[in-house]
Amino acid sequence: MKKVSNYIVPLLFLFFLASCEKVVDVKVKGAEKKYVVEGVLTNETGKCEVKISQTLNLDDDNTFNGVSGAQVTITDDKGVVSTLLESAPGIYRNNLAGKPGTTYTMEVHISGNKFTAQSTMPNPVAIDSLYISSMDMMGDKTLMPNIVFRDPAEKGNAYRFIQYLNGKKSTDIFVQNDVLSNGRLNTTTLFQHDNDLKKGDSVGVDMLCIDNNVYKYWFSLYQGATGEEDSASPANPETNIKGGALGYFSAHTVSRKAVTVN
């Protein structure tokens, strides 16, 4: 249904031109600090990373405030334990590369807290092609990247797309599952919210094959916690971490492609 709002919202705003925007001063009650754990394990070597931080006050700088001194391990379903070591404050790394089909358990111990999460690395799906198309939207020609891939025959696949524009990672969230498109040749268009693609730009896309709990995390983050949506009820995303931390743990595969706009 997000696809629908991609069209309706600009059309309505065109119609009701009177809409106006203003920065306002809002005082919010603070909250107790909460741990944030973002655990990532991919099928590539050297990309296993767990970031641990704490929540910030709303008027703080948007800076990652890593928390040091945690014990972080990732264990596979055969009981093989890999320990992640702190490489920078709050950033814990290991050279572990995950194997598709394996369920991994992340365990974090910090200041008496224990956070655990499980994620199963799906089988990899590769991007067949990436191309740029143009679409007329309200008088503007908008350029958008399209990713073509074949969804596997079995149900239950989910994807997350990360877009890079001239090497810079975009903050737009693109997730998709195969409920409506199982087993088909998929073309996914990445609708641009803030970016304006121009000739000569290089566009890169990472396609992550994620498990369904991670899909749910990103889907609910997109729906409710980015501060942008007109959702009637913003809320924290649905995490797969047990023990009371924000964040997620995702074991996923990665497929990449890049293209230059011409």
Q: Which is nearer to other proteins, 141 or 199 (CB)?
A: 141
Nearer to other proteins, 39 or 122 (CB): 39
Closest distance to other proteins from the beta carbon of 163 (Å): 12
Region 101-160 residues binding other proteins, contact defined as CB under 8 A: 133, 135-141, 144, 146
Helix (H, G, I), strand (E, B), or coil: what is residue 221?
A: helix
Report the first-to-last Cα separation within the chain, whole angstroms: 31
Nearer to other proteins, 200 or 227 (CB): 227
List, in order, residues 6 or more apart from 145 with CB less than 8 Å away. Answer: 130, 131, 132, 163, 189, 190, 197, 203, 205, 259
User: Based on CB atoms, which residue is closest to other proteins, 71 or 231?
Assistant: 231
Minimum CB separation of residue 225 from other proteins in Å reads: 5
Tell me which stretch binds other proteins (CB under 8 A): 25-33, 41-49, 93-101, 200-208. Answer: 25-33
Report how far residue 206's alpha carbon sits from residue 210's, in angstroms, rounded to the nearest whole number: 12
Identity of the residue, 69 or 131, whose beta carbon is nearer to other proteins in the bound complex: 131
Indicate whether 8 belongs to the interface with other proteins (CB under 8 A).
yes
Residue with Cβ nearer other proteins (81 or 179): 179
Q: What is the nearest approach in angstroms of other proteins to the Cβ of residue 24?
A: 5
Q: Say if residues 1 and 180 touch (Cβ distance below 8 Å).
A: no
- Read off the tokens for 180: 């409506």
Identify the DSSP state of 175: E
Q: How far apart are CA 42 and CA 129, in angstroms?
A: 21
To which residue do tokens 């910090």 refer? 110
* Interface segment toward other proteins; rule CB under 8 A; list 29-37, 77-85, 115-123, 197-205: 29-37
- Residues 68, 234, 242, 260: which binds other proteins (CB under 8 A)? 234
Alpha-carbon distances, residue 17 vs 10, 186, 200 (angstroms): 10, 36, 33
Sign of CA dihedral 180, 182, 184, 190: positive
Sites for other proteins among residues 54-73 (CB under 8 A): 54-65
Q: Is 237 in the site for other proteins (CB under 8 A)?
A: yes
Per-residue mark of binding to other proteins, 167-186 (x: CB under 8 A): --x-x-------xxxxxxxx
Nearest CB to other proteins, comparing residues 43 and 53 = 53
Out of 79, 85, 111, 228, the residue judged to bind other proteins by CB under 8 A: 228
Residue range at the interface with other proteins (CB under 8 A); choices 79-87, 91-99, 204-212, 221-229: 221-229
Q: Which stretch binds other proteins (CB under 8 A): 68-76, 103-111, 122-130, 187-195?
A: 187-195
Beta bridge partners of residue 83, listed in sequence order = 73
Report CA 42 to chain centroid distance, whole Å: 13
Question: At 84, is the secondary structure helix, strand, or coil?
Answer: strand
Amino acid letter, residue 96: L
